[in-house]
Amino acid sequence: VASDLQPAVLDPSLNPLVPVLRSNFWLTIHVLTITLSYGAFALATALAHFLVFRSIQRRALPSQDDSLVHHLYRCLQIGVLLLATGVILGGVWANYSWGRFWDWDPKETWALIALLAYVILLHGRIGGWWGGYGLAVGSIACFLTILMAWYGVNFVLGKGLHSYGFGNGGQLYVGAFALLELIVLAFAPARRPKSS
């Protein structure tokens, strides 16, 4: 109650929402779908880290990890389905709002790059190019494309139609996370188990 009585502290540079962002069904569904896909990929990445670190400790993926690999694969499938749906819904919204389905905006482009990376990862698993360990390492690598699509476009590039979310916070933390992931990816293959 006391906080309601306090004056609102707002950034003086805040501007009203542009008309295209106000109360739009397609925008809401698009954003929710994309956000859910990012959540599925984050869960897949957490499972992948668990599998990679367990594998490094044991030098092989034990058979009991087959269940975790199955859940990782399922998270990736759900994420790809949601991301593909979100990209298509974003195109429908863009066509409704601006009269064009695709404009190669940095956000659109990175969403497509992320989608293609995950599709290649899933097809590689189906095609037998890699086993459970490769799927886990690939999931970690692919999550960097999600990181760029979500954070990098808005907070690093700050260009294009999606730049309304531009800001300047946390680059050091996100950069450190990405660097740590690259280190994991660099050392994980050296510790690759013989069985997968």
- In the chain, DSSP finds a helix count (H) and a strand count (E) of 6, 0
Judge residue 125's burial from the number of C-beta atoms within 10 Å of its C-beta, 0-12 exposed, 13-18 middle, 19 or more buried. buried
User: Could you read off the pLDDT tens digit of each residue along the chain, which spans 196 residues?
Assistant: 555 566 655 556 666 666 566 657 888 899 999 999 999 999 999 999 998 888 877 765 666 678 899 999 999 999 999 999 999 999 988 888 888 888 888 889 999 999 999 999 999 999 999 888 889 999 999 999 999 888 888 777 766 666 655 566 677 888 888 899 888 888 877 766 555 4
Judge residue 26's burial from the number of C-beta atoms within 10 Å of its C-beta, 0-12 exposed, 13-18 middle, 19 or more buried. middle
Q: Is the pTM of this model over 0.95?
A: no
The predicted pLDDT at position 23 comes to 59
Q: Cα dist. 179→14, 162, 182 in Å?
A: 33, 25, 5
